[in-house]
Amino acid sequence: MRDAASTWLRPLAFGIRWAPLAWFLGLAEPFVAAAVVLSAVSLTRGPWTRLLLPALGMASFLLAGAISLVLAADRGAPTDRVAAASFNLLVWGLGFTVWLIVRRHGRPGDRRLLLQSIRDAGMWAVAAAVVALIGWNAGLRSLSFPALAAQVVPLEVRGGLPGLFASALQPIVYRTDFFAGVAIPRLQAFHPYPNALALTAALAIAAQLALMRWGRPSTLRSAIVLAILTLPLAMTASRAILLATLALTALTVALRMVPRDGRIVTVAAAAWLLTLAATFAAALPQVGSALASGVGDARAGSTMTRVTLYAETLRQAIERPWLGHGVKPRPEDRGIPIGSHSTLIGTFYKGGAVGLVLLVAASLLIAARSIRDLTLGDQHRQAVAAAATLVLAWALIEDLDAALVASIQAFAMLGLLFWDHAKT
């Protein structure tokens, strides 16, 4: 008989699995946030001994961000940018809470329930991909609709909402983009932008790999599910995540072929770092190899926008190096706020060196555990470690505190990375 999942973990899994339905209402973010809060009840039960140190580190990060935000508001930062930065802090707070919740639960059933919910979120993306292909073949070059929540929000209020909130009221299933000069349907469903959906799809693939039982009659069915999960990932045209997924798959397969006693942690660490380097290179122009250059040039406009944005962000960040600027300004001559498209650079811009040091420390801890499990873990731990590496890779070129639904899925995977049923 399988081990049942803990009662207070079920709301979190429910929120991850069914967020796409709430998306149709324009309420995906509050729906998932409510699910996290319900599962957070579990944190009031049982000892906190092994959670105290990480909780203090997370609280320090949030406190540093809050201080930077208050100082920015005191300097007269625009109200809409203060609201956006407050939302970012809320996402971090919910994400850290998810990490603690998952660490609090150690039953095998808990692990399986979370992996299934993350996999099922990817299956919803498969359905959206099929709809997008049907619409594209019918001649529709984009597909969006007014969410039900938009019916109760006055038009004048909707016009003044920040971009992320406005997109929730007018969800986009897909839109036309260009890849290597060819018009394609770029999938975005359930998220404010396609790269967030790419993270959901990649994590779903990793979750399916972690759930697979090789050599059983269900292997063929699992392999089919794994294959169709690649469809929404491909349709996001997210170069960095596609490259990272391919690199991690190659690394994991290579490690599975080498006897465990012949694996060298140093070699695995070097390969892991090369994976991250290749991922970041995909977002830069004219990188060394022909493959990476081709990937970088496939959507060259996006590439040059990122490079220009990073350079401007770093130039302004050093003006307030310790506690940062607190908020991301949005210049009138561009639609992207300064400090966007990189969790690492964005944290330095908003939270200064204090926030950056705390984030780097957490990233190094995740990196060490990922390398260990990729090298020495079984199939299931390797899959979760690959997912955690994907989260780090994605955070290099995207904002982990912007797409709430994808962020919660990411933090759930990071919690599973440190999952150890022997402790409970």
Whole-model pTM: value is 0.89
Q: Quick one: tokens of 418?
A: 């440190």
Mean pLDDT of the region 8-14: 94
Pick from 128-137, 147-156, 224-233 the range whose average pLDDT is largest: 128-137
Between CA 418 and CA 20 the distance in angstroms is: 27
Mean pLDDT of the region 190-194: 92
Element housing 175 (H / E): strand 172-179
Contact 296/239 with Cβ under 8 angstroms? yes
Q: Choose among 156, 178, 303: nearest CA to 240.
A: 303
Q: What percent of the chain has pLDDT over 90?
A: 50
Contact 352/318 with Cβ under 8 angstroms? no
pLDDT, tens digit (0-9, with 9 covering 90-100), for 329-341: 988 776 688 888 8
- In this prediction, residue 278 carries a pLDDT of 65
Which amino acid is present at 406? A
- In this prediction, residue 157 carries a pLDDT of 63
Q: Choose among 254, 248, 257, 224: nearest CA to 389.
A: 248
Least confident of 350-359, 372-381, 400-409: 372-381
Between CA 10 and CA 14 the distance in angstroms is: 6
pLDDT, tens digit (0-9, with 9 covering 90-100), for 223-259: 888 889 999 999 999 888 888 887 777 777 666 666 6
E strands, 191-281, are: none
Least confident of 74-83, 147-156, 340-349, 369-378: 147-156
pLDDT at 76 over 80: yes
pLDDT, tens digit (0-9, with 9 covering 90-100), for 341-353: 899 999 999 999 9
Confidence of residue 43 (pLDDT cuts 50, 70, 90): confident
324: left (phi over 0), alpha (psi -120 to 50) or beta: left
Mean pLDDT of the region 203-230: 82
pLDDT, tens digit (0-9, with 9 covering 90-100), for 317-327: 898 989 899 99
Mean pLDDT of the region 67-83: 92
Confidence of residue 390 (pLDDT cuts 50, 70, 90): very high
| Rg (the chain; Cα; Å) | 21
- In this prediction, residue 332 carries a pLDDT of 74
